[in-house]
Amino acid sequence: MGANKIKGAALSLFAERGYDGTSLALIAEQIGIKKQSIYAHFKGKEDLFLSLLTETFTIELKREEQFLEHYYTSSLDAFLKASLASFLSRYNHDSRLKFWLKNTFLPPIHLYDQVNAQLNRYIHDVESLYIKRFETAVSKQEIAMNPQQANLAFSALLDSVAVELIYGDQQRAVTKMEASWNIYWQGLIATNSDFERGR
């Protein structure tokens, strides 16, 4: 379908250049059509962008669910390390991640509310999934810490990897991620005793 070719080109252009930096003419040019032809598939630029955003969060949430399922029997640290690695890898091979990261950070102002609403729903849904995983880890006595806090601190790791990746220094992103991970995991383990004592 022609709509999918348009979506594909638009996704990577929005990911690289943002909403305002991407013209319909540029999208059309990528796939060898005229900009006016886009209106046969989408009501306009807003419609195209918001379709991509909705679709992206749906896909990303489903991917998270499958990821969790796949690592359900793994140890917590194996799962979390895989989650970080997957984040890093997807950033380079799939523009979906870059697309939503950049465009939720600095959305076109006239779409701010809609973008933010979708983002918050996504964050909430993913958080629920991860907290469940941390609760499981507690019940299996892999860790002995407040699951909400462990989850928040882990999602902070992901945030920071995102920032470094977008800033463009791949090597630094990896180095920083490893340093953060080591301290994070040490911290999780070290907090065990406090939790057990009911703090």
Partner DNA sequence: GTCTATATTCGGATAGAC
Partner DNA sequence: GTCTATCCGAATATAGAC
List of residues contacting DNA (CB under 7 A):
1-3, 22-25, 28, 32-37, 39-41, 43-46
Tell me how far apart the alpha carbons of residues 55 and 39 are, in angstroms, rounded to a whole number.
19
Report what 46 binds from a second copy, DNA, none; CB cut-off 5-8 Å by kind.
DNA
- 157 contacts 84 by C-beta, under 8 angstroms: yes
Residues 102-131 that bind a second copy (CB under 8 A): 102-106, 108-109, 116, 119-120, 123
State yes or no: residue 97 binds a second copy (CB under 8 A). no
Tell me how far apart the alpha carbons of residues 26 and 2 are, in angstroms, rounded to a whole number.
16
Stretch that binds a second copy, among 55-63, 66-74, 77-85, 156-164 (CB under 8 A): 156-164
Which tokens is 146 given? 């407040």
CA distances, 30 to each of 61, 116, 146 (Å): 29, 29, 49
What x-and-dash track marks residues 5-44 binding a second copy by CB under 8 A? -----------xxx-xx-----------------------
